Structure 1
Amino acid sequence: MTATLLEDAPAAAPAAGRATVVLRRFLRRRGALAGAVGLVLLFLLAFAGPYLTPWSYSHIDYLALRQAPDAHHWWGTNRIGQDVFAQTVRGLQKSLAIGLLVAVLSTGLASLVGACAGYFGGWTDRALMFFVDLLLIFPSFLIIAVVSARLRSSSWLGLVALFGLFAWMITARVVRSMTLSLKEREFVRAARFMGVGPFRIIWRHVLPNVASFLIIDATIQVGGAVMSETALSCFGFGVPQPDVSLGTLIASGTSAAVTYPWMFFFAAGLLVVFVLAVNLVGDGLRDALDPTSGGGAR
């Protein structure tokens, strides 16, 4: 009888994988979910928005200079007759691209340098950390401002490279500390004794165990890069003309924020929403990946 009941009982559900558990924790946080929805909407606006309007970001309507929002120009026009909606979605598109590329570049560089320094130790560790400490003492914002002024005639990718070059050092030191602990773990020692190469161990065993930190760091880097580009644009150094970003739009519209508010507040509002959404997603990822961080138990 007992055997029959055991046979008729439904099979136990397989244990949920780590990715599923993390996703469930993330979705339980309303703030993180709101941030994720906000980011999706911003990406849709940035990349689908140009197809919703007949105006190009570089097109000039000489019959509508500083015109308030109406049926023809949804968000009005600027001082030379360019459509503010077209310019803003183009600027949002450029700022998102800058943020994502800087995050990928800086986080990838930090993970490579930090993991190699922590795993190999010795002179490799000393040389890499000396280079990291050397970059930390440089006034990065001043250097970026000076160099970017000489790159204004080139592509905006040079600006991305500059931001990425000076945004990875602190993360690299944290990854190094985590690697120093991980390389003494049993599974790393076992791989080493089996003859697995050091770079394969770093790729297969070390980096996956610091991935949660790197994901959180990347979300922070996205918002930080966009804010840095905005600050740089306020001083006249940013995405070279005739292209635009949220930073250049905010810088050009600041003087007209009171008299012609649509030239300033649409770009500034999208910047605030973007940075807030990124921070909410970063907090949600932190709590989902590390429930002991303080917020994951809610």
Structure 2
Amino acid sequence: MKAALAALRRPQAITGVALLVVLWGAAFVGPLTASYGHEELDHSALLSPPSGEHWLGTSRLGEDLLAQCLRGLQKSLLVGVCVALVSTLLAAVVGTVAGYVGGRVDRLLMWATDALLVLPAVLVVAVVSPALRGRSWVWLVLVLAAFQWMLTARVVRARTLSLRERDFVHAARFMGLGTAQVIARHLLPHMAPLLIIDCTVNVGTAVLGEAGLSYFGLGIQPPDVSLGTLLATGTGSALTYPWVFLAPVGFLVATVTAVGLLGEALRASLGEEEGHGG
């Protein structure tokens, strides 16, 4: 936990956090104060370039691109954060249980982990996607999270194998604590820096994953809006009306960059702490 707090004092972390705050505020507060709604059409300004009336221009239907991008950013951030939380929680549970319990439980969980690692995620999503079309975006979160936890689970398991031989774990067992209590009270707190880093990085990965799936028609689809759907819509106008494509690209790049800066600061701080500890 000290590593996470120390990382927030690094310049790249400060930049990343500041950018994330701006983006989050724009996504969730901006639509409340915007002059146009994301579904509102201005028939007098079809494919209009950026102006004082429409700051980022308009689409081929006259939709305000700023309002569209803010709505898309809102959905992409929600998907990214939810995927990161679910996948990190799953990795923590699977990794600690496998490492602490051992035996058949360990072998079964690691077999399942390895099976998902070699399974082509894009192919599975392509097969599952038609069945989920028209349903809640929560299903997309679950599908993305299902393929984003395996590597972290293996790292958590390796650390658990080391920690379970420590004196504080033996003392907890001697006091009569059960498996769940030992994991929750003694093992997971020692994993906190790793899990925080993983959760942070997974937000950016999930945002990119959602954008990619939606771009290819496998994720969120119109009339719902995300950065991926806006990219797909604007691709055909990238050369003739570039603002239609560049507006969502700018928000996507800014989001991933902000998360990347914060994740890199956390990773560097954790590496320094482990180096001093060694």
Q: Give the shorter-chain TM-score range.
A: over 0.9
Superposed, 1:1-298 pairs within 5 Å as 19=2, 22-23=4-5, 25-292=6-273
* TM norm structure 2: 0.95
Indicate conservation of the 8 Å contact 2:4/2:270, yes or no: yes
- The one-letter amino acid paired with 2:50 is P
Q: Distance in 1 between matches of 2:186 and 2:57?
A: 54
Moved over 3 A (4+): none
1:211-269 deviation digits (Å, cap 9, x = unpaired): 11111111111111111111112212221221111111111111111211111111101
* Distance in structure 2 (CA, Å) of the matches to 1:199 and 1:233: 39
Larger radius of gyration: 1
Give the number of aligned pairs.
276
Identity, in percent, stands at: 51
Mapped to 1, the partners of 2:4 and 2:147 lie a distance apart of 31
Taking a change above 3 Å as real, the CA distance of residues 47 and 140 of structure 1, as seen in their structure-2 partners, is same
* Aligned CA distance change for structure 1 residues 168 and 22 (closer, same or farther; 3 Å): closer
Q: CA deviation at 1:42?
A: 0.6
Separation (CA, whole Å) in 2 of partners of 1:145 and 1:60:
33
Name the CA distance, whole Å, in 2 between partners of 1:263 and 1:75: 8
- Whole-angstrom CA distance in 2 between matches of 1:49 and 1:60: 18
**Relative contact order higher in (CA < 8 Å, ≥ 6 apart):** 2
Equivalent pair of 2:4/2:193 in contact (CA under 8 Å): no
Q: Matched residues in 2 for 1:36 and 1:242: separation?
A: 31
Kindly provide the amino acid, as one letter, of the partner of residue 172 in structure 1. A
CA distance in 1, matches of 2:199, 2:58: 35
Return the offset for 1:293: 6.4
For 1:140 and 1:66, the matched residues in 2 are separated by 37
Q: Is the 8 A contact 2:23 2:255 kept in 1?
A: yes
Please report how far the alpha carbon of residue 288 of structure 1 lies from its aligned counterpart in structure 2 after TM superposition: 2.7
Deviations 1:262-297 (A, max 9, x none): 111111011111111111101111223342568x9x
Can you list the C-alpha shifts for 1:117-172, whole angstroms capped at 9, x where unaligned?
Answer: 00000111111111111111211111112212321211111111100111111111
TM-score by length of 1: 0.88
Look up the equivalent residue of 2:76 and give its one-letter code. Answer: S
Aligned partner of 1:105: which letter?
A: V
- In structure 1, the gaps of 5 or more residues are 1-17
Q: Could you list the runs of 5+ residues in structure 2 that have no partner in the other structure?
A: none
Tell me which moved more, 209-218 or 66-75.
66-75
- Indicate the RMSD between aligned Cα atoms, in angstroms: 1.6
Q: Contact 1:287 / 1:293 at 8 angstroms: preserved in 2?
A: no
2:40 alignment partner AA: H
CA contact (8 A) 1:250 1:267 kept: yes
Contact 1:117 1:129 in 2 (8 A): yes
Kept in 2: contact 1:286–1:293 (CA 8 A): no
Residue type of the partner of 2:170?
A: R
1:256 alignment partner, SS class: coil
The range that moved more, 172-181 or 235-244, is 235-244
SS of corresponding position for 2:130: helix
In structure 1, C-alpha distance between the alignment counterparts of 2:75 and 2:205, rounded to whole Å: 15
Task: Indicate conservation of the 8 Å contact 1:99/1:226, yes or no.
Answer: yes
